[in-house]
Amino acid sequence: DKKIIISPSLLAADFSKLREEIAEVEKFGAEYLHLDVMDGNFVPNISYGAPVISSLRKHSNLVFDVHLMVNEPDYLIKDFAHFSDIITVHAEAVKHLNRTIQLIKSFGKKAGVALNPSTPLDVLKYELKNIDMVLIMTVNPGFGGQKFIPEMIQKIKDLREIDKNIDIEVDGGINDETAKLVKEAGANILVTGSYIFSGDYKKKIESLK
Ligand code: DX5
Ligand code: ZN
């Protein structure tokens, strides 16, 4: 079994003290930091971009796990490669997924592909061997604090059966209860926003693991 990694989503942090928030989750055992970038186009919301993330980079040793909810994100990738460890794009947002994956890897970064709840795994059939991580969205992207979509459990199981080794990240509505279900199904990287940032980071991180 793969080690469980926790990736707190900065979207749910207190934006007036990001540096302190990151230090806290790092201290209490999170390994990754999930950074949700939204363009107000692929998703109906705008979050933050490169200037915010790059200024946090020098204050943290966490793995920067960047989730681009952006249409045709190729134009951002070179810039983001300076401060990201993993760059994840949405299969639904790119025309030439193979090219985008190659672009991410050309900068020596790990490549992830995210799938919206209604997108089947089939779109990755010929790319799985080229990517490092699949992000199974367990809510519709765009907002924190939404309810976990239970049909995604089967999707995680199906993917784990197809590929025993690939990193499977889940994002949306993860708390102590849904964490159990997704881990059993085969996910190994858990994004957590509103659950963890609502307080008691230490206890929350332990409960997810
Ligand atoms: C949603 C984002 C998530 C979000 C998760 O579009 O991709 O990363 O912050 O938030 P919670 O854990 O509150 O569902
Ligand atoms: Zn996300």
Report CA(34)–ligand 2 centroid distance (Å): 6
Two tokens, residue 84: 């990201």
Instruction: Render pLDDT for 3-47 as a digit per residue (tens, 0 to 9).
Output: 999 999 999 999 999 999 999 999 999 999 999 999 999 999 999
Instruction: Render pLDDT for 128-154 as a digit per residue (tens, 0 to 9).
Output: 999 999 999 999 999 999 999 999 999
Domains contained in the chain, CATH given: 5-208 (3.20.20.70)
pTM above 0.80, yes or no: yes
Report CA(163)–ligand 2 centroid distance (Å): 22
Using CA positions, which residue lies closest to atom 12 of ligand 1?
Answer: 193
Element (H, E) at 172: none
Active site residues: 36, 171
CA distance 159 to 164: 8
Check: complex ipTM more than 0.95? yes
If phi > 0 it is left, if psi is from -120 to 50 it is alpha, else beta; for residue 144 that is beta
Count of H-run helices and E-run strands, the chain: 8, 8
Q: Are strands 5-8 and 32-38 parallel, antiparallel or unpaired?
A: unpaired
